[in-house]
Amino acid sequence: MSYVTYRFVVEITAMNEIPREVAKKRLEEVIDQIPSAESGFEEAEIVSEEREEWKALDSHVIVVAVKGAMDDWAAYIGSVAGKNHDLEWREVLSNGTKLSKRVADVLFPHFAEKYVWRP
């Protein structure tokens, strides 16, 4: 299990008071359902002229991409309460776990095409 997976399982377990194995299974189900870059996402919002974009992968999982000042970018994942994604994505941007470039490229292909990945 990767660090990102482990941290997600710990966070969602604590937030929702569910058993660790249930949280791990939910994460695996979410990862299996991530569409390819060609199919897109139903729920996504671009904020401030493509500087930031968030997507809900599940009612309790949000990913956020952000463009830096030097035309670089990074993406983050985090668990949320699932009550108001329009507000919760900012928490993921501030405190989420950084995604690997490989996963971020799949989730945000237009960022990958335009900007340099921030290591």
Domain ranges within the chain, ordered by starting residue: 3-117
Q: What is the pLDDT of residues 41-63, one digit of tens each?
A: 444 554 445 689 999 998 999 99
Q: How far apart are CA 51 and CA 11, in angstroms?
A: 27
Query: What's the token pair of residue 42?
Result: 């139903």
| pLDDT tops 90 at residue 104 | yes
Instruction: Please give the DSSP secondary-structure letter assigned to residue 115.
Output: S
pTM for the complete prediction?
A: 0.61
Residue 94: per-residue pLDDT: 93
